[in-house]
Chain A
Amino acid sequence: MQLELSAEDAAFREEMRTFFTTKIPQEIRDKVAERRELTKDDIVTSQRILNEHGLAVPNWPVEWGGQDWSPLRRHIWHEEMQRACVPLPLAFNASMVGPVIAQFGSQELKERFLPKTANLDIWWSQGFSEPDAGSDLASLRTTAVLDGDEFVVNGQKTWTTLGQHGDWIFNLVRTDPEAKKQRGISFLLIDMTSPGVTVRPIELIDGGHEVNEVWFEDVRVPQDNLVGELNAGWDYAKFLLGNERVGVAPVGATKRVLAQAKEYAGDQLQDPLTAARFAELENELLALELTALRVVAHSADGKPHPASSVLKLKGTELQQAVSELVVDLAGPASLASGAGDDDSDLPGWARRATPVYLNLRKASIYGGSNEIQRQIIAKTILGL
């Protein structure tokens, strides 16, 4: 039992902190700090700087740009990025399709895609959810039928986050309609400029355009774009979703927003009720952060600590609760969400508070909804 980081890990933390606060452009980090929307260029610029220094995809195999770090160092890297307001490497590339290709793809696929994926030369979109396949993902209906050496893809994907920027999309498609539902699914990479691919924006309750529908009409996809084995896609998807749960608790970012909220609060912090709300959230975030550290410390042998499922559940609840607090701190100023900088005397954070709050309702739905997480805890951990 020891509280402190080892001298080596403390030095590593300092190194990360220095890098993130000096090498990533201030104007990009300011946008993150002020919770303003990032452009595609901001995200690409930031990831390329990270990649240039081996810091974009440390979770990948070393030969493809990864780092031979302990789970604790990976955790420190992830937390310090959030703390420094650095946009995280695009999850679709860095945590989703990259590790799948590295683990299950052919040598040819690896060489063709991994370097460009790490450097964000290719912007990946995720083609998993469908209108009738949400939490029950395996009920997906988009089909891919082999015709010569090409698949012909038909169907519709939805909730495709930032699909408007997408160059390529990784899809779960049904390749064997006769098999039991999980067994007839394959993992297919599709060039989004292919004829028959249509991306349509979905307007969300925060007024933003973050997600899309993606339609496939007789899209012809070379057979070479299949990852791994035919009809083994569900295993790859489970691998991907397992990776997704680890980084999905945004501890550092939520802590940072809470710290900023103290500034927003100003004199309101003198109000005992407001101060108590801050103190309670801060304490729960501490418990979450410590739980993440316990998970990290105990996953060194490769097996994830059972408490990891707590992270997604509690992490997103706290992220949402902090965004709710910021709306309440903004008070009536939160109504001015439609005002531009020149049209309003009210501070930007207050004007952005409610759109952020509304947007973050998604957090307990995506990445395996929190009800799915409760199901995992009940079944896998408690044996219920």
Chain B
Amino acid sequence: MDFTYDDEQQALREAVRGLVGKAYADFETRRRTVAEDPGFDEGLWQRLAEMGVLGLPFHEEDGGSGAGPVEVAIVAEEMGRVLAPEPFLTSVVLAGGLVAAAGFADQRAEVLGALSGGESVLAFAHAEPGTRWTDDATSVTATNSGDTWTLSGTKEPVPHGARADLLVVSAALPDGGTGLFLVDPTADGVTRNGYATHDGGRAARVVLDDAAGVPLGDGGDATATIATVLDIGRVMACNEAIGAMEFQLRGTTEYLKSRKQFGVTLNTFQALNFRAAEMYVSLEMAKSLTTWATMVLDAGKPDQMAVAASRAAVGVSRAGRHIGQEAIQLHGGIAMTAEYSIGSYTSHLTALDHLLGDGDHHLRVLAASVGDHEEFDPLS
């Protein structure tokens, strides 16, 4: 049991902070960046590639640097701290993670090499209108004629689907199960409508009409792989949220200490200080769960990953709502403005909460198995 980061991990954090933290030190820069497509800074994306961040989780032979979940979590947390809009979570962790888990060696080398090098942005097209955080695909179907596959149906919302150079698409297979396919989004039969999300992110509707797809790996049922990669994504989303919540708590306490009303600073009022103290409690509890879930990924125990992801997701969902709502309330009207950063953090926390399953979704998962064990022991 050891909760400390080693020197290399500290150095990684400093490096990411030095690049991303510096780039978005002024919130106005982020505002300007997300105001125009593609909704992130392509130049910064290149510099992240040069730093090795975009290939962090992938094997060296696939063009990555072979780092583990703890390193990926550090990046996610630092991105969250400044609300960096670059698609690290959706492109690298999710779409890239699927290619790494399901692709053949030559697919991995080509796709992940381009992703790691910053030459290609990936998107995972999985959600379908009417579904809620499932592991499988239903309305998008895959049909084969010999070795040639085509996909039809609608995927939405697809994070960064309009900007993506390559789509990883989940589709129901003719004989049951869900397969994964690489789809060139500029090919015939693919129509994309991109739009901004409430937090300045980007998503798209992707309509497939007999669009050509190349099976990822052997093209068999990939539901279990999707589930695992989604769980990894959940834990990384939690880490990103921790960075955002830490910023919100610090911003809120600074504001309470400096903002004057009735001739005194707001921290004169115990009613407000106690609410900030409760935010701290929520943050620490969520941080404990998130750090632990990251270590479960790191320990590589697949049977425990799903439970750990759900447990962290419940805790972070609860904390994110509490801290996000209180941060706005304790600031007052200023936090309602787009110009001031605090409220946008709440918007992003809300987006993260609903990207891969909100608190109630994961609580439902946990509640279904709560009778299967006497107590839950994180140390065994």
Residues of A participating in the B interface, judged by any CB pair closer than 8 Å: 1-6, 9, 13, 72, 255-256, 258-259, 262, 269, 272, 275-276, 278-280, 282-284, 286-291, 293-294, 297-298, 307, 310, 313-314, 371, 373-375, 377-379, 381-384
A275-B367, A287-B286, A294-B288 given as contacts; is B375 within 8 A of A255 (CB)?
yes
B224 interface hit (Cβ, 8 Å): no
> Please, how many angstroms separate the alpha-carbon atoms of A81 and B277 in the complex?
31
> Please, how many angstroms separate the alpha-carbon atoms of A375 and B275 in the complex?
10
> Please, how many angstroms separate the alpha-carbon atoms of A293 and B375 in the complex?
17
Closest Cβ–Cβ distance, residue B21 to chain A (whole Å)? 22
> Please, how many angstroms separate the alpha-carbon atoms of A273 and B257 in the complex?
42
Closest A residue, CB atoms, query B9: A1
> Please, how many angstroms separate the alpha-carbon atoms of A375 and B368 in the complex?
38
> Please, how many angstroms separate the alpha-carbon atoms of A2 and B285 in the complex?
19
**Is A282 a contact of B299 with CB atoms below 8 Å?**
no
> Looking at the complex, which one of A3, A72, A256, A382 makes contact with B375 (CB distance below 8 Å)?
A256
Given contacts A1-B3, A294-B291, 4 further A-B contacts (CB under 8 A): A282-B366, A293-B1, A310-B284, A377-B281
The 4 closest A-B pairs by CB, nearest first: A290-B288, A378-B273, A377-B277, A275-B367
B364 interface hit (Cβ, 8 Å): yes
Contacts of A313 in B (CB 8 A): 281
> Please, how many angstroms separate the alpha-carbon atoms of A282 and B368 in the complex?
13
Number of interface residues of B (CB under 8 A): 48
**Is B370 a contact of A1 with CB atoms below 8 Å?**
no
**Is A259 a contact of B1 with CB atoms below 8 Å?**
no
B196 interface hit (Cβ, 8 Å): no
A5-B379, A289-B378 given as contacts; is B367 within 8 A of A276 (CB)?
yes
> Please, how many angstroms separate the alpha-carbon atoms of A381 and B246 in the complex?
13
Which residues of B from 22 to 38 have beta carbons under 8 Å from A? Answer: none
Closest Cβ–Cβ distance, residue B292 to chain A (whole Å)? 5
Closest A residue, CB atoms, query B374: A259
> Looking at the complex, which one of B274, B315, B374, B376 makes contact with A374 (CB distance below 8 Å)?
B274
Contacts of A291 in B (CB 8 A): 284-285, 288
B371 interface hit (Cβ, 8 Å): yes
Interface string of B1-23 (1 = CB under 8 A from A): 11111100100000000000000
**Is A276 a contact of B364 with CB atoms below 8 Å?**
yes
Contacts of B367 in A (CB 8 A): 272, 275-276, 278-279
Q: Which of A258, A310, A373, A379 has the most CB of B within 10 A?
A: A310
